[in-house]
Each structure stands twice: as C-alpha cells, then as structure tokens.
Structure 1
C-alpha cells in the first residue's frame, strides 16, 4: 500500500511538473516585460530593498554569512552583516537592471561625466588592442556587480564576441531571457556538452570568447580561493591549450548614483609546465587569484550566496 501511494505521488508530481514549469516561465517572462515599463532607477531601488528584506530570511543568507566569516576572519560581525546586506541589495538591483539590458549601456567618450558607464583610458586602450591585434582572446568575468554587462562592454568596443552562458532549465523562461541577452551581446553559446567544441571553433575563427569562471565545479581542478581549497572549471585553460591567445579579465563595478565602472585587466599570463605546455591547474589558479583580488576590493558586490567551497 505504501509503495502504491509513493508511486501515485511520484506520478502526480511528474504530471504536475510541466504545468509548474510553464507557470514559472510565464511568470518570469511577464515580470521581465512588466519591469521594462517602469523607470529603471526607481525599479532598481525597489528591487534592492525587496531583496534585502526577503533575502535576509532565506537559507542562502546563512550560506553567505558563513562564507564571509571564513573569507574575512579579521572582520567584525557588524562588518559581515553590512557586507551581506550589500550582497542582497546588489542582487536585487541586478534583477531590475536585467530587464533593461538593451539600453543600460550609456557611455559617451566625449562626455564621460554624463555617461552611466565610466571607463578609464587604460581600459579603452586594452579593448582597442584586442580589437586591432587580429588575434582571438579569452576573457573571464565573475558574479560581481552587474555580471551581464561585461558582454555589452565587449560588443560596445567592437569585439567579435562569443559568450558562454547557462540557460535556465525552464524553456519558456530561457526564451524570454535569451531575447533580452541577444540584443547586444554577440554570439551566445549555451553551456552543454558541445559548448567546448563551439567555443574552440569561435577562437579558431578569431572571435573573443568570454565566460564566468567563479562557480564551483564538482569535476573541476583544485584552486585556492580566499585561503581555502575549492574546484574551478578548467574550460578556459583547456581552450588555451587548443588555441593560444591572450587572456584578460573584465569586471563591472557598481558605483554610487546608479553608475558603473568597466575595467579590463592587463593580460593574465598562463602558467606552463616543464615542457612548455599550458598548465591547466596553474593557469586556473592565476585566473582565480585575479577574481579574488577583485572581490576583496568590493566584497559586497560578489555573489556570496552559493556554496563556492564544499
């Protein structure tokens, strides 16, 4: 009898899942469409407040607090809580800004004081170098500030970019999100089994391949991050073995007054083994160390809410 009940419950759950997914997808698409009708600044303020209120009551808040306490043992509990509140605020603002990705990039080199995006001269120089050197490149980013904007920065500087992204599990939500992303983000390559092949082909064609590199991967390579061992996705270093090219990091920092600063790092030199071949683990450690340096500057803008260490 118990087995029959369990089977019946499982069957009902499986039957209801498509309906639930459809509802979530419709809700996501509707929320994105609705958000676009409202002032982006006021909406970002509202979403930031709502995220702080709701987020502090979720399980992820405890994960974030534990991560921050381990990463910054020198900080007081009050400092940790202030950072964590900023993390939730940043996440809420990110959600509001996502709906306006197609017109959020506002940068006028002749009038930078009137621009929403601030770009320092050295970053302009590095982007120009990437555009004119007739080489492919690998560009990494992290879940810092607004992590959708680095792709817009590349395209705005004339780079032929191929962006690796992880689509939502729900197809209707994926379609709604992809329509927004596709406006000014270059070639979008969904994560999956054939993604490494497509990314390698993009490099071979001279494109600039970009991806986020700061999430835990069970089968990844060992790296040290904030003094603790974790796993990093080795895809970027493996691609470098196939097509040697420059590596740079890009980040978008949130500034006061609803502005951002775009920064492109100097070239990150890969690590090589005794035979001169790209060292996968060593190169991913070099990239991870750059990301750690970014986060130490702006800890309240990184996504501490996931289990980066396990």
Structure 2
C-alpha cells in the first residue's frame, strides 16, 4: 500500500485563522435560522454596527470620503460609515444563501441597460466578452443573472489568506456560477483558454494596482489595472461595465449593463471605465466598498 506523500498534505491552518473561521461559521449558522428576507438585513446590521467599527472600517471610509468627496456634509459621512458595511454584510449573506439568492434573481430577471443588445449579439456570435466589474452592489447578482440566460460567465478570483475560510467560501461562490479561475499560473492559463474559446470573463478594476497605470478616479490620481482592456484588445473581445445595483428594498437588484467601451489604447479604455464607475458610485454612494485603499500615498501613486 502506497503511503501518502507528506508534501501533498494541506498546510496546517494557523490558530488565529481557525478561530476567525469558527466565529464566522457560528455567525452564519445563526443567520441561517432566519428566513431569507430577515437574514440578509440582519447580516447587514451586524456588519454596519458591530464588525465595521471593530475592523476599523468606519475610519477608513471617513478617510476616503474626505479625500474623494470633501464636500459631503458630516451627517452623510456618518450615514455612509454604517451603510457601506451594511451592503457588504448583505452581500455576504446572499453569497451564503445560494439557492435562495439565485431563485430571487431568476424570479425578477433584472438585466437591463444600454449594453444588453451588445451582449446578446456577442452570445449569438460566440464572441469573447470582458465584463468589467467593481466592488459595488453585489457582484454575484450579475453572475446569477447572466448564467440564467445560459451565457458562459467565468471569473478570476484571489483565494483568501485564511485557508480555513476558503474551504467553504470558494464552493459558495462556485454554487452561484462557474467556471472560476484562481489567481496563479495554472488559473491564468485556464482563464485565457476559456476567453479565447468565446467565454465571458468578469474582471475587477476598482482596486489600487501597484503595477497599473496612473489614471484618475474621483478626480484623483491612482494606479489602475490595465488587464481588462489589454485582454479585450488581444482577443477582440467586447468589453463593457456591468453591476448588480441593490434596490431600495435592500433585497432585489437591477443588473445594469453599461454601453460597450470602444477599443483604443488600454489607458483610454480604463479611464472611461473609471469615469463610468464614478458616476455610478455618486448615484449610489453606499454601494461601493469605500473601505478599499484606492488612493494609496505609498508605493508610487502619482501626485498632482
């Protein structure tokens, strides 16, 4: 009988990560005792009033708003320090609600927007598509809505640092739509084969990228990834923004398909996406994840 190679055994998970994962599973276990319509807002409340302050999110949100939107009145800033984590908590509850979340999306058929005809044409022609997505609303509402149409939506993801958390987080993401490609050499190769074969790939572009180009977001210089535009040019893929916008009831979504971005040079294309996202965020300030360090002062961010 062949003995297992010790090198193939999973790396031990740090005690701190096991404790954090256990606390999260306990929280989700309690949340699942509630019906969906109460579970989602309950998780939003917990993130907005408990986790947000403990994690230092409120301070980060205030700092980013002071930099990007100094004209906001104090009352609006206070509202956003709770509303932004609330949206994050709701989104996480929706991811872990799997079939209930998907059923709600499918029941409403939320796809709309000026770019929808272009998506339908791409599907008919089996043309590759780059879906430019941000940490806005709920990203997975878009994946569920497109998969409902039978469209091949793939996603690139970065595994969490907490390996114990990955063991249930990644399956929860895959339950909404597949394929999913982990960052790394093998995942990148599979992703490119999928795209080249006519697949649709969702790629994020709203976080600081140390290797990106200095573009502008909310009028401020920040490094922005060029990969979505570069891949669109290389594979003659349609590229357009798409977002799952949470509706006033806090539970339903409108999946807005933005107008396609014309192929030119990567910097111009990504600046257009930044501009489009800024307009969308200004219309729904609480739905973008203002916790990100989007405007880093270290690491080479260009200054005026």
Length-normalised TM-score, structure 2: 0.84
Assess if the C-alpha contact under 8 Å between 1:139 and 1:248 holds in 2.
yes
Partner of 1:294: 280
- Per-residue deviation at 1:88? 1.9
Partner of 2:63: 66
Alignment of 1:122-271 (within 5 A): 125-257=117-249, 258-271=251-264
Are 1:82 and 2:79 matched, yes or no?
yes
- Per-residue deviation at 1:148? 2.2
Are 1:51 and 2:47 matched, yes or no?
yes
The equivalent position to 1:284 in structure 2, one of 263, 270, 276, is 270
- Per-residue deviation at 1:238? 2.4
| Residues in 2 aligned to 1:124 and 1:284: alpha-carbon distance in whole angstroms | 20
Deviations 1:185-242 (A, max 9, x none): 1210012244443332211111011122111111211110001111112221221242
Gap runs ≥5 in structure 2: 1-10, 297-304
- Per-residue deviation at 1:83? 2.5
Partner of 1:275: none
Partner of 1:40: 36
| Residues in 1 aligned to 2:200 and 2:144: alpha-carbon distance in whole angstroms | 13
Deviations 1:221-280 (A, max 9, x none): 111000111111222122124211110111011112221111111211132xxxxxxx22
Larger radius of gyration: 1
The equivalent position to 1:20 in structure 2, one of 7, 16, 30, is 16
The equivalent position to 1:94 in structure 2, one of 73, 78, 91, is 91
Assess if the C-alpha contact under 8 Å between 2:31 and 2:42 holds in 1.
no
- Per-residue deviation at 1:67? 1.0
> Structure 2 vs 1, CA of residues 52 and 91 (structure 1 numbering), >3 Å: closer, same or farther?
same
Assess if the C-alpha contact under 8 Å between 1:224 and 1:285 holds in 2.
yes
| Residues in 2 aligned to 1:281 and 1:289: alpha-carbon distance in whole angstroms | 12
Deviations 1:1-27 (A, max 9, x none): xxxxxxxxxxxxxx9963333343444
- Per-residue deviation at 1:57? 5.1
Greater shift, 190-199 or 79-88, is seen at 190-199
SS at match of 2:72: coil
| Residues in 2 aligned to 1:161 and 1:38: alpha-carbon distance in whole angstroms | 31
How many residues end up aligned between the 2 structures? 284
Length-normalised TM-score, structure 1: 0.82
